[in-house]
Amino acid sequence: MKIIGYSERGAMNALFYEMAFKNDKNGMIEFLKLAGIYDDFSDFDFKIYNEFSLSEFGSPDLVIIAEKGNEKVAFFVEAKVAACDGFKIVTAIKEYEKVNPDTSNLFYQLKQKVDFFEIRKELPGQDKLVESGKGQKSIGNNPVVRKFVELLKNCSKAEYIAIIPEVSTEDNQWGEKNPIENLRIIYWEKIYCQFGINLGYESLKETIKFNQGIDIKIRSEERIKSQILNTPIKE
């Protein structure tokens, strides 16, 4: 039996569920290395929290908590895809800079998590409002949300990772405009090569390959469009 998912959620599930089913700690360490995180996590245990809510601070696509004794590190992961139309960092930044940006915007979502983590220990015990970079917000009284918040309160450090399609060299010249300090970037194309090809994650490989098809309106080599990648796989 196989499960093949759609778009970023399908690819995220294929990657991390297969990693968990294989109990592949080295795979998790490889994932962090792709993000440019080379700290020694060999003695850490990892737990993955998928699509949990932080109420008015948004719902991270994924949170990884690395734990060793009393030491805990949180990794907030947000994923975006090409949606058969191409993903551009500059376009995402311009949207974020609007007075009322799209709440699904990559940088808006990441900034919500930065705001949350900065004031996590100051969060009230009830559904009171707290100040954040985007105004007053609440974490509410949902018991599962509050349980998740308590886990994150005990983390001493947070890293912020964006998984996006590989962009052009020109589009990647955006350092000074980066609204998220020390943001880590991983390209889907790199994940496909490292996990789908090199490490044999068949579910991920099949999911990414299925999420592309022929655009019948285009009569050229570019008629293959990918829901996930900026550059479709040609095999």
Give 127-148 pLDDT, tens digit per residue. 555 554 445 677 888 889 989 9
pLDDT digit string (tens) for 157-205? 999 999 999 998 777 777 667 788 889 999 999 999 999 999 999 999 9
Q: What is the pTM of this model?
A: 0.92
Q: What's the confidence (pLDDT) of residue 134?
A: 45
Q: Is residue 232 part of a domain?
A: no
Confirm whether 173 is domain-assigned.
yes
- What integer best gives the mean pLDDT of the chain? 89
Domain assignment present for 234: no
User: Over the range 140-168, which residues count as b (16 or more CB within 10 Å of their CB) and which as e?
Assistant: beeeebbebbebbeebeebbbbbbbbbbe
Q: Is residue 233 part of a domain?
A: no
Write out pLDDT tens, residues 23-40.
999 999 999 999 999 999
Overall domain count for the chain: 1
Q: Judge whether 150 lies within some domain.
A: yes
CB count within 10 Å of CB 50 equals 15
Chain segment 82-98, per-residue pLDDT in tens: 999 999 998 999 999 99
| Amino acid identity at 36 | G
| Structural domain includes residue 231 | no
**Tell me, what's the pLDDT at 138?**
78
The verdict on residue 235 lying in a domain is no
pLDDT score recorded for residue 219: 66
Please check whether residue 43 lies inside any domain of the structure: yes
- Indicate the SS3 state at residue 77: strand
Range of the domain at 28: 7-226
